[in-house]
Amino acid sequence: MKGLWKIANWEITRNLTNKQFIIGLLLTPVLIGVFSGIPILLERLNQPSLSTYYVVDHLGELASLQALLPENISLEAHQDSASIADIVRDTNSSGYFTLDQAFISTGQIDVVYNDRSMETLSTIRGSLTALLQQIRLASSDISVNQLTFVTAPARVREVALDEELEPQTMHMIVALVFTVLVFFLILTSGTMLMQSALQEKRDRMAEVVLSSVRSVQLMQGKILGHFLLGLMQLVFWIAIGLPIARYFWDFSVTEALAAVNVPIILFFGLGGYLLFSALFVGLGATMEDLQSAGNSQSLVIMLPALSFLFMGPVMTNPDGAIAIFASIFPFTSPAIMMMRSGLTVVPLWQTLSSAALLLLTAWVIMLLASKIFRIGMLMYGKNASFQEVTKWLRYKES
Amino acid sequence: MDGLQVQGVHKVYGSTAVVDNVSFQAPQGRILGVLGPNGAGKTTIIRMIMGITAPDQGDIYFTDHGRKTKGVPFSTIGYLPEERGLYKEAKVMSILLFLSGLKDVPKTQARERAMHWLRKFELEDYAYKKVEQLSKGMAQKVQFIASILHEPKFIVLDEPFSGLDPVSQDLFKEEIRALANSGATVLLSSHQMNIVEALCDEIFLIHRGKEVVQGNLESIKERYGNFRVDLLSSTAREAVLATDMVQNVEQLAPQRYRYTLKDDIRPLEFVQALPTGLDIRELTITRPSLHDIFVNVAQGGANHEGSLEDRQLGNYA
């Protein structure tokens, strides 16, 4: 037990004094901020600019069309359809079109554009449709009231049968944030673990360390160390992220905390960590370096990414068959179960069977990993083949 | 007897017996040389002694102050493996503290001892430098320090001299001898026969997983090495052969011959048997070196079925 903590302690101090780790720790929130901030910023920068369209108006409807348009699109009347193209070019305006009798009878109109802003064009299209309806309506017997009545959309209210089924935005957001955060941590810690095993082999330290502790202790010490490191990162990021998030969005921390499904996140976060960490540390022991990972090894590396495949379908239909499968299948259940718990009320039998299956799988993987680790850590100079690894699994324990 | 006892140890990988029913002892305060060609099973034996792998059959005992334990307790082992290194991005002192911490040495004590040893090897300026900044020889010294910092009762050194310059080799030899004199059991594996010959008290020679010879260095030489006489003389050949004490003659140069004496012939006996008027310009009488015995034995045992070098599983066990 003492050896376990010493190994864990070594892994932690080694990383905390490692520049790369510190940079990663500080940079990750910055990167997340940049990547989530840039789209918002771009959206802001992309505020509708002023655009001008020249119109040859044979109908005298320019004023009513302008009234239908937002302020940033202005219309200029022009008499001469021959020179209008040049004017648009000279003034660098957005485009031109002609309102004439043919438009009213056929509904067809050519909007010639100079700058191809999708947003402006679609606004123009909408306004022209409205204008067309107004003009056609005026020449028919139908009153405006009648038209509005006929074309009004259905007003659908979504009411949950039981109150608890009703999704609460706060729950959803908190669950999603936690899912992404915890899963991101599982992935980074897993990768770091794999590298830690690889490094121990590369630096030829495994054998010396194994003359002081049992290989199981070395493996578990690494897993424990990186778990604590992960927790430190999580606390650090939340400590930084929370004030920032509160600055931008006004919400109550206590309410957000109340929205966290603590048992689910704790259990599946931990279970997921155990599963993937054992997988990755065992994998690291079979490899010489990352670049030369074989096919079967690459497949294992890809395994956690499965969860991302399911995130979309689960989001749109959190009670569907795919969601249920993904929240029970042990290699996706940690992330998906955390996510579902925020989106819907997961039936107890699903939670329990998912939890049991996750525990069982994590336990089995741990056992296999420790056998692989024991022999793999002492093998130098090459990647182990799949056949070799299966052979190791049958060797006698010391 | 205090020290290490290996009894009937057997280890099979696949269908090959990598270590085949091997027994030996390493008495306390002595240096035991474990010798053998590549793939003979040395590393496997060492790893079984370390408890890193388990023997299929047989037992390993360690006795310290009359207390016998099965296997060697981790805290009493100092191990310098053949495949060795140091964490590249860590500082020398933190590695030494980590490794001695694993052996339960209190931190302040470990730090003192580490400085003492670093000073001894003229590395005190590197104590707080990163391993990346060390030369290969310096790193090897740090590895050596790491393996003995906790004052182990049982020290295993696998090829400790490989890659060292002669000065450092002598330094290592001195320290290893001092460790044995202070009461440690030392198990040394090396290919450098001259060093083994100079350093080891006992020899265990293994080939293809099987014991070839073991015992005190002198007794081995006695058993396997008849005296050799190198003579520079233009006329002596006939007279020497006439003594009937020679097993074998070999011409080294036009007038230089090497005679291997028969089993029981002592040097003095031979010299006295030579006629008095013989014209001898040079005469040396030696035992064959351990190197010769080793090569002899290794080649003699070569007609074994299946080569260990062909083992499929690589060098992990």
pLDDT, tens digit, 9 for 90 and up, residues B25-82:
999 999 999 988 888 888 889 989 988 888 889 999 999 888 999 989 988 999 998 8
Q: Which residues contact B230 (CB under 8 A, 6 or more apart)?
A: B252, B256, B257, B258, B282, B283, B284, B285, B286
pLDDT of residue B308: 34
Per-residue tokens: A94: 């957005």
What secondary structure, in 3-state letters, does chain A show?
Answer: CHHHHHHHHHHHHHHHCCHHHHHHHHHHHHHHHHHHHHHHHHHHHCCCCCEEEEEEECCCCHHHHHHHCCCCEEEEECCCCCCHHHHHHHHCCCEEEEECHHHHHHCCCCCEECCCCHHHHHHHHHHHHHHHHHHHHHCCCCCHHHHHHHHCCCCCCCCCCCHHHCCCHHHHHHHHHHHHHHHHHHHHHHHHHHHHHHHHHHCCCHHHHHCCCCHHHHHHHHHHHHHHHHHHHHHHHHHHHHHHHHHHCCCCHHHHHHHCCHHHHHHHHHHHHHHHHHHHHHHHHHCCCHHHCCHHHHHHHHHHHHHHHHHHHHHHCCCCHHHHHHHHCCCCHHHHHHHHHHHCCCCHHHHHHHHHHHHHHHHHHHHHHHHHHHHHCCCCCCCCCHHHHHHHCCCCCC
**CB of B316 less than 8 A from some CB of A:** yes
CA gap A108, A22 in Å, rounded: 63
Of the candidates B223, B228, B237, which has an alpha carbon nearest to the alpha carbon of residue B280? B237
Pick among A1, A12, A14, A205 to test the B interface (most B CBs inside 10 A): A205
Nearest CA in chain A to B157: A208
Tell me if A367 is assigned to some domain. yes
Residue A353 has pLDDT above 50, yes or no: yes
* Whether A115 and A193 share a structural domain: no
Task: List the single best residue of A2, A5, A207 to mutate versus B (max B Cβ within 10 A).
Answer: A207
Given the cut 0.90, state whether the ipTM is greater than it.
no
Residues 184-243 of A with CB under 8 A from B: 199, 202-205, 207-215
pLDDT average, residue stretch A130-145: 83
Same-domain status, A217 and A183? yes
Between these two residues, A38 and B153, which has the higher pLDDT value?
B153
Q: What average pLDDT does the segment A165-193 reach?
A: 77
Contacts of A378 in chain B (CB under 8 A): 47, 52, 316-317
Domains annotated on chain B, with CATH: 3-222 (3.40.50.300), 226-286 (3.30.70)
With a cut of 70, say whether residue A56 has pLDDT above it.
yes
Task: Measure CB to CB from residue B77 to each of A209, A211, A214 and give the nearest one.
Answer: A211
What is the predicted pLDDT for the residue at A165? 52
Most confident of A22-26, A240-244, B19-23, B33-37: B19-23
Spatial contact of B98 and A10, defined as CB atoms under 8 Å apart: yes
Say if residue A340 is in the same domain as residue A191.
yes
Count of domains forming chain A:
2
Strand partners, B5: B25, B61
Same domain? For A115 and A196 the reply is: no
Q: Judge if A103 and A251 occupy the same domain.
A: no
Final residue of a domain: which of A97, A124, A151?
A151
- pLDDT tens per residue, chain B (317 residues)? 789 999 999 998 878 888 999 999 999 999 999 988 888 888 889 989 988 888 889 999 999 888 999 989 988 999 998 888 888 888 999 999 999 999 999 999 999 999 999 999 999 999 999 999 999 889 999 999 999 999 999 999 998 998 888 888 999 999 999 999 999 999 999 877 888 888 999 989 888 888 888 888 888 877 777 788 888 888 778 888 888 888 888 888 888 888 888 878 888 888 888 888 888 888 998 887 777 777 777 676 443 333 333 333 333 33
Structural domain includes residue A45: no
Q: Which residue has the higher pLDDT, B132 or A249?
A: B132
Between CA B186 and CA B192 the distance in angstroms is 17
> Rounded mean pLDDT of chain A?
84
**Number of residue pairs across A and B with CB atoms under 8 Å?**
83
Chain A residues with CB-CB distance to B79 below 8 A: 207-208, 211
Same domain, A280 and A315: yes
Residue B128 touches chain A, beta carbons under 8 Å: no
Percent of chain B with pLDDT over 90: 39
Residue B108 is predicted with a pLDDT of 94
Q: Do B103 and A209 touch (CB under 8 A)?
A: no
A32 in any annotated domain: no
Same domain, yes or no: A203 and A116: no
CB atoms A207 and B94 under 8 Å: no
Per the domain annotation, does A11 fall within a domain? no
pLDDT for residue B254: 87
According to the model, what pLDDT value does residue B312 have?
A: 36
Task: Give the residue carrying structure tokens 């992990």.
Answer: B316
B83, A380: Cβ pair inside 8 Å? yes
Residue at token pair 């002694």: B49
Same domain, A314 and A352: yes
Return the pLDDT at A346.
86
Residues A71, A214, single domain; the answer is no
pLDDT reported for residue A162: 65
pLDDT in tens, A255-290: 777 767 778 888 998 999 999 999 999 888 888 877
What 3 state SS string does chain B have?
CCEEEEEEEEEEECCEEEEEEEEEEEECCCEEEEECCCCCCHHHHHHHHHCCCCCCEEEEEEEECCEEEECCCHHHEEEECCCCCCCCCCEHHHHHHHHHHHCCCCHHHHHHHHHHHHHHCCCHHHCCCEHHHCCHHHHHHHHHHHHHCCCCCEEEEECCCCCCCHHHHHHHHHHHHHHHHCCCEEEEECCCHHHHHHHCCEEEEEECCEEEEEEEHHHHHHHHCCCEEEEECCCHHHHHHHCCCEEEEEEEECCEEEEEECCCCCHHHHHHHCCCCCCCCEEEEECCCHHHHHHHHHHHCCCCCCCHHHCCCCCCC
Same domain for A265 and A317, yes or no, is: yes
Do A206 and A136 lie in one domain? The reply is: no
Q: How far is B146 from chain A (nearest CA, A)?
A: 9
Across A194-208, A299-313, B3-17, B172-186, the highest mean pLDDT is recorded for B172-186
pLDDT at A351: 92
Between helix A262-286 and helix A333-343 the angle, nearest 10°, is: 160
Query: What's the confidence (pLDDT) of residue B117?
Result: 94
Q: How confident is the model at residue A48 (pLDDT cuts 50, 70, 90)?
A: low
CATH number at residue A95: 3.40.190.10
% of chain A surpassing 70 pLDDT: 93
- The pLDDT score that the predictor gives to residue B307 is 35
Owning domain of residue A66: 51-151
Residue A6 lies in a domain: no
Is A21 part of the contact surface with chain B (CB cutoff 8 Å)? Answer: no
Length of chain B: 317
Q: What is the pLDDT of residue B236?
A: 79
What residues in B contact A18, CB-CB < 8 Å?
Answer: 89
In angstroms, the CA A277 to CA A221 distance is: 12
Q: Is residue A65 part of a domain?
A: yes
Whether residue A25 is contained in a domain is answered as no
- Cα Dmax for chain A: 98
Domain-ending residue, one of A123, A151, A179: A151
Clarify whether residues A129 and A224 are in a common domain: no
What residues in B contact A7, CB-CB < 8 Å?
A: 102
Of all residues in chain B, the one with the smallest CA distance to A392 is B313
For residue A220, tell me if it sits in a domain. yes
